[in-house]
Amino acid sequence: MRSLRVGLTGGIASGKSEVARRLAAQGAVIIDADVIAREVVQPGTTGLAEVVGVFGSGVVTRDGTLDRDRLGEIVFSDPALRARLNAIVHPRVGERLRELEKAAPPGAIVIQDIPLIAESGLADYYDLVVVVDVPPRVQAERLTQKRGLTPEQAAARMAAQATREKRLAIATIVLDNSGSLAELDRQVGELWAELRHRAQTLQE
């Protein structure tokens, strides 16, 4: 019995984590690439050592942890440096994702919560791709109002990701998260029913 492999993606501040939490409550196995990306650069890891080797000790705080805000300011304004960071982090994240997927129970619905499916050309790996979608205007509002970014910082982080059109182009299913949480709950309920149906079909 193999697992149903689902890629969950969306632009920054789209509310992807809200969707993942709701699916976890339904019984999905959630593998969060952002959490893994933090793990692979924890103090004492080869990942952190490589990051410091490229970006210098200024990206490490006094307690030895990675200063993600400082590093973000550097890489979100320079595509070449962002590519160097990704070359360190992404292979380690990918390896850990595969380990966790193999550890999932037989027949599970495994949802890999990954911001960069469109950018990384990973869509074909999954049985289906779910895209959480909001208009760019809503993304910008959430980044400035809820996360405290300046409009310029918000624009740089959005520009570092695939366009909305590229994300929608890889979508099997689109969830519109520009409305209320009640509306999101309804859509996630329908999504879960569809995922259970697909998982069952896999085993037949």
Tokens encoding 126: 């999954």
Would you state the pLDDT for residue 79?
87
Would you state the pLDDT for residue 151?
93
Residue type, 80: A
Query: What are the b/e assignments for 189-202, b being 16+ CB within 10 Å?
Result: eebbeebeeebeee
Full set of structural domains in the chain with CATH: 4-203 (3.40.50.300)
For residue 197, the Cα-to-chain-centroid distance in whole angstroms is 24
Would you state the pLDDT for residue 120?
85
Would you state the pLDDT for residue 121?
87
Give residue for tokens 């949480």.
Answer: 181
Cβ neighbours of residue 106 under 8 Å, at least 6 residues apart? Answer: 1, 2, 3
Residue 172: φ, ψ to 5°:
-85, -40
Q: What is the pTM of this model?
A: 0.88
Would you state the pLDDT for residue 203?
79
User: Tens of pLDDT along 138-193?
Assistant: 999 999 998 999 999 999 889 989 999 999 999 999 999 999 999 999 999 999 99
Would you state the pLDDT for residue 202?
86
Is residue 14 within 8 A of residue 20, CB to CB? The reply is: no
DSSP states of 102-159 as a string?
HHSPTT-EEEEE-TTHHHHT-GGGSSEEEEEE--HHHHHHHHHHTS---HHHHHHHHH
Beta bridge partner(s), residue 45: none
Q: How many angstroms separate the CA atoms of 176 and 184, rounded?
A: 8
pLDDT (tens place) for every residue of the chain, 204 residues total: 889 999 999 999 999 999 999 999 999 999 999 999 999 999 999 999 999 999 999 999 999 999 998 998 899 888 899 999 999 999 999 999 999 999 999 899 999 999 889 988 889 999 999 999 999 999 999 999 989 999 999 998 899 899 999 999 999 999 999 999 999 999 999 999 999 999 999 877
Neighbours of 131 (CB within 10 A): 25
Would you state the pLDDT for residue 24?
97
